[in-house]
Homo-oligomer: A and B are copies of this chain.
């Protein structure tokens, strides 16, 4: 019973079907009919004209998106536990040619205007110190917490006032929208660039880079190829994304994952490090308790000495969730 990560979940049958339907010769790279539909599909989703490109990993999507908001000599303010800081092996620095991540504090890996201001206040040395060019936040955060639309507006207002770009790491954007119950546009706030995760949500190997400044897409097109991410059969990546968007499958999958997480959370209320808003649970478990759960067949990730991470996915079997509920209650 796998609660290690949604990134290892299965591919949704409709995604498989769409990929196979796309498997006939077409123009290579992103010249095919499906890739060409991404702009329109995301423009509809966000209710405004955007550009959208596929990328084959969330790290690639984030890194390429960041190139549109920071120059090599600048910095990006992010939470000290942000995925781009902790889990991408320096990929953001690689793609931005050395831009620095400027680390902010904040509960549950969420940024606040105050935390951002603290970072900015420490930048006083002119050309001797890396200056902030942008802010990056994760929706939902690395602890599964969601920014409310008004919080995003407040951060966006600060970004605008300070001349900073705004990037949103949306590896679990769908789970955030599902929790917030708002429009995708409200859940993205005044972002300049968003990585829209699909792989964790029923896709195989396709995430989308959504650029609210359409002109920035030109830069990303060059940098994507230069990063080795312009796959020749791009149509199968586009097919995955479109299959998830169609009929709201992306939201349906996210809701299933969130619901499973919520169910499990119900039996571990006293053990939760953070409220469960999306599909991740951070549960305080002693070593013996971990051993006991693992002996019952549950797989999860040791977050640190006191806490484990459990992640529900779109395809978490109901009986697995229920079994975990019982096992946690029985500890």
Binding site for B on A (CB under 8 A): 2, 4-5, 7-11, 16, 20, 23-29, 55-64, 71-73, 75, 86-91, 93-95, 97-100, 103, 125, 127-131, 199-200, 204-205, 219, 221-223, 225-233, 236-237
Contact = CB atoms under 8 A, between A and B. Distances in A.
A129 B59 CA distance: 12
Contacts of A88: 128, 225-226, 228
B23 A11 contact: yes
A164 to B, nearest CB: 16
Q: Which 7 A-B pairs have the closest CB atoms?
A: A60-B228, A7-B232, A59-B228, A97-B97, A89-B225, A8-B28, A73-B222
Greatest chain B CB density within 10 A among A60, A94, A199, A236 is at: A94
A2 B25 contact: yes
A236 B129 CA distance: 23
Nearest to A15: B23
Copies of this protein in the assembly total: 4
Contacts of A55: 228
A70 to B, nearest CB: 11
Contacts of A237: 205
9 contacts: A5-B28, A10-B23, A72-B94, A72-B97, A87-B129, A89-B222, A89-B226, A91-B225, A93-B93
Nearest to A101: B100
A72 B57 CA distance: 21
Contacts of A199: 231-233
A315 to B, nearest CB: 8
A222 B59 CA distance: 13
